[in-house]
Structure 1
């Protein structure tokens, strides 16, 4: 399927999109504009997802640590069970650092069907810092299950850095996390100092991590880390970082702030970038509460060196 055959936007008013290709088709989960629930949609084919019926599998409670601002969920299948990772907080108020107070949480479903099955709260995924964190993902590599996320280090300037560690269980980390990247380049520090939304894709002899940087307006963009597939991922010196962003705002195509991506594949194996972007810059109030970060899809090409070519965000077709 060529990219032009997908509508753009692909799914409206769904930020932080995540698409999982599974045995029975495709699963879609994302932030909803109300930030109050987790919903999943499933379709046999990728292009059927926009018309698939969303099923609410969890709603935030009235009080407690998971009662506000449910952000950036991801759906994963690990050892025969389903898991959702998401960020949540107990308050919409900012702390003394003028930051939100999110932590990461996990849900588990042991039933075969995650849309009709029972979801159980597994609690907070605790890490080395009790600080703002979000955007966790997980992946299998070198025979281990890894946990990859963004978090504030109280001793490092900015909102969040990218960390990696092994998992003991799907809701508990193992070992000492390693910091893979922090906001330090100009394009990572516009509006806010941010590295967040990591996503993993493997190709050839490399493991890649894309991530999003800067404020969530037209400055938002995607950066890239990579490592040899045989290298030790827990050693920061083994990782490489692109000095320039690889996917940015296109003023010509009226696509602003592309970011918070995930990856999936077409049924014939074509690699697909799943991301959100707005089609305007005139945001009233906080960009966080503007609902029009729409889910979009784009094919990824690979150059002769095995590096991904994301190209330019395509213009709206609908």
Structure 2
């Protein structure tokens, strides 16, 4: 194989120079990619993720000015259900307290074509603050997981789960399945710029929940601590027997399952997502991380991807962040 051909099939992390809250969906040999832009919903696609930085891209949706979803668009995810495409994204109109999740739909076979139509806000009955929604079809039933506040303004971010009656409507009540309650989840000092009158308030964070299914096991991987601190990934495991909406059906791992590697120049890895290679044989994770301990929560966060394996008990083995080495890309179509 020529050096040029080899270069086309490998990459080094980060796979793009910037891209907070990255997401990949692999479908029919295409890798569809999204990340937070803050202003619009941009979709990339490629047959070869090693070429993501130069992949075809298109702004598929720009919210009209003055709408309750017109500002601070975060954490977009593209999904496909019942031969239609859906993008879930968090947005607000005035400030963070108005953040909710919104859904757009496209009936075209090609998500880069056709019209994206606003289906509306997807939330619980009491209209609580929410961000970072992801959705799964589990045994023929749609479920959504997201990060939310227990009250209207308490600021502590918990993980909630709900059943869906269709891809844009919650069916029934939201159920809290995790809150920051372990020592490693509670490193919540806020940045100095947010402090007032010398006070150092705490914000404890569980966010970015992502479903991960392996054989007969179901997990939710979530981000803990905070993006300006030692962000890391935690794990919730479904016991496989009870109702998914019963908090007792989920067990939280007592330690994080993926942490930063300052010795490799990787800080605050979080907001992980998961996909399979086009040949269906390899499991991959995507996450964002910083290249400095002081990079914070802005556009310095860049996307990293790497393969992962499984422990003997069926739980994911994410290893350590991989950086500065050539990695064979996910199998291309």
Aligned to 1:200: 211
In structure 1, list runs of 5 or more residues that go unmatched: 95-99
In structure 2, how many angstroms separate the alpha carbons of the residues matched to 1:163 and 1:205?
22
Moved more, 75-84 or 160-169: 160-169
1:197-229 CA distances to partner (integer Å, 9 max, x unpaired)?
011111133101100011112411100001134
CA drift at 1:10: 0.9
1:106-133 CA distances to partner (integer Å, 9 max, x unpaired)?
0011111111210001111121332321
1:163-188 CA distances to partner (integer Å, 9 max, x unpaired)?
11111121110122221101111221
Q: Which residues in structure 2 correspond to 1:210-225 (within 5 Å)? A: 210-225=221-236
TM-score (norm 2): 0.86
Q: Which residues in structure 2 correspond to 1:150-189 (within 5 Å)? A: 150-154=147-151, 158-189=155-186
1:37-79 CA distances to partner (integer Å, 9 max, x unpaired)?
1010111233333321221001132212012100000000011
Equivalent in 51, 69, 72 of residue 69 of structure 1: 72
Aligned to 1:292: 300
Residue 41 of structure 2 corresponds to residue 41 of structure 1: no
Q: Which residues in structure 2 correspond to 1:125-164 (within 5 Å)? A: 125-154=122-151, 158-164=155-161
1:218-253 CA distances to partner (integer Å, 9 max, x unpaired)?
411100001134542111111110011111111111
Residue 255 of structure 2 corresponds to residue 244 of structure 1: yes
Which of these two proteins has the greater Rg computed from alpha carbons? 2
Q: Which residues in structure 2 correspond to 1:274-313 (within 5 Å)? A: 274-283=286-295, 287-288=296-297, 290-313=298-321
In structure 2, how many angstroms separate the alpha carbons of the residues matched to 1:303 and 1:86?
32
Equivalent in 263, 274, 280 of residue 274 of structure 2: 263
In structure 2, list runs of 5 or more residues that go unmatched: 1-5, 189-202, 327-333
Moved more, 120-129 or 218-227: 120-129
In structure 1, how many angstroms separate the alpha carbons of the residues matched to 2:82 and 2:24?
19
Residue 20 of structure 2 corresponds to residue 15 of structure 1: yes
Residue 61 of structure 2 corresponds to residue 79 of structure 1: no
Does the 8 A contact of 1:67 with 1:91 survive in 2?
A: no
Equivalent in 57, 60, 63 of residue 60 of structure 1: 63
Does the 8 A contact of 1:218 with 1:249 survive in 2?
A: no
In structure 1, how many angstroms separate the alpha carbons of the residues matched to 2:240 and 2:53?
34
* Count of residue pairs the alignment pairs up: 304
